[in-house]
Structures are given as structure tokens and as C-alpha cells.
Structure 1
Amino acid sequence: VKWDKEESNYEASFKNNKVDNSILFNANGKIIETEIAITVSQLPKKALQYLNANFKNQKVKEAAKIITEKGNLIYEAEIKGKDLFFDENGNFITKDKVS
């Protein structure tokens, strides 16, 4: 397990069955989110359509499935230093600059 500090939170990164995983904890040890690396083809169909329409010919560097502390499933795709987030059905939610 590799530990990193993310602002006031802590991230534990590890491999499980050769798949990258991470868990983000707050300072009290409560899980904020879990993240599992996925292949781009595992993103929901609507998310792939959005990426093809809005980022044509741009490579998705990383994709992940995230479960929030409230139990919501969201997907993340990183393109050119920006993280794009999609809901569990593949609808675009927001984008955020990677620090």
C-alpha cells in the first residue's frame, strides 16, 4: 500500500488482482471514496459517446469507477490533464482540472 496526503485527506493506493485501486480517507479515518481503474471501453456507452463527440481524436489517459461516501457510483475519464465525471448512466456531470 502506498499512502499519499491529498489536501486534508489521505489516499491509500494498491493493486488488487493487478488492478489499480485507491481509497480516500478523511483525517478521522472515514472513507470518502473508493476508486477502481477500468479500461476506457468499460465506461458507460453514453460517456463514450460524449467523449467521442466532444474530444474527438483525443486519448483518454485513465478511466476509473468511483464509489462516493454516500454510495453513489460515478465514472471518471482523464483527457489532457482534465478529469471528466459521469453519473452511473454515463451522463456528463462536470470536469475538474488535475492538480
Structure 2
Amino acid sequence: MKKLILLLSLVTVTTTTVVSAQDLKEKNVPATVKAAFMKKYPDAKKVSWEMEKGNYEANWGGKSGEDNSAVFTPSANFVEIVVAMKINELPASIAPYIAKNYKGMKMLEAGKVTDAAGKHMFEVEIKGKDLIFDEKGVFIKED
């Protein structure tokens, strides 16, 4: 019995990890979430949706369709928006921090984050990780 419970726990953790970011069809996004999104971003076109960390993420704009990513909770509360930016537009302190603390890792994407309270941060994607920096380019956390 203990082995069965351990096996089921392992399968659950593995499955949860693998599907942490899951593409969704628009019909599977709650109407309240879609309505809150369209109210906040009425000009958004060609929106794709995914589920990330239990929240709904809308992606739209640009050639890749992901120049903007807005996150809403299942109860339709706005969490944050990330607007894509060029890596060379990041605060000057970020590149040296990554070079020192993530040796050999290349910055793949960057974005300016604005949360529900209006606080600004920067997000930098490196292989398999998102690094979060404050508005001055000071490291906050690895996400």
C-alpha cells in the first residue's frame, strides 16, 4: 500500500511538472476571464491562451504572437502583464549579473513586467528559467 501511494505521488508530481504551462483552446477559458481580459485590453487581436501555475495567460501581438502576455487568476483578477522588449534595452546591471551568476547562459528573451499594483520589474528568460529583476535591474528571484 505504501509503495502504491508513493508511486501515485511520484506520477502526480511528474505530471504536474510537465504540464505547468499548457496551451488552451479559447473555449476552455472561463467567460469571466475572457471578459476581464477584453475589458483591460480591448485592442488585443489573435489571442492565444495557456494555463500557467494555475492562472490563465493570454498572449498576443508581434510576429510570434507573444509580444504581450497578460495573466489572470481563475476568478478573473488581473495579476500582471509582460511586454516583450529587446535584450539590449534592459538595465545595464542585468547582463553582468547573469554573466557572473549563470555562467555560459545566454539571455533568450526579455520583458517589462507590470503587476496589478503598478509595480515594474524585468523578466529575463535563460535556458529553462525566468529571472526577475526590480525596476533598477537588481536581482529579485529565479522563477
- Structure of larger gyration radius: 2
Where does residue 91 of structure 2 map in the other structure? 44
Where does residue 142 of structure 2 map in the other structure? 95
Q: Deviations over 1:3-45 (max 9, x none)?
A: 1122431111000598710110112222100011111111111
| More contact order relative to length (CA 8 Å, sep ≥ 6) | 1
Aligned residues: 96
Q: Percent identity?
A: 40
Structure number with the higher helix fraction is 2
Where does residue 4 of structure 1 map in the other structure? 50
CA distance in 1, matches of 2:141, 2:54: 22
CA distance in 1, matches of 2:102, 2:51: 31
Gap change, CA 1:7 and 1:94, over 3 Å in 2: closer
Are residues 1:26 and 2:77 paired? no
CA distance in 1, matches of 2:122, 2:54: 23
- Structure 2 spans left out of the alignment, 5+ residues: 1-46
Structure number with the higher strand fraction is 1
Q: CA deviation at 1:57?
A: 3.9
Where does residue 76 of structure 1 map in the other structure? 123
10-19 or 34-43, which deviates more = 10-19
SS in 2 for 1:44: coil
CA distance in 2, matches of 1:49, 1:90: 11
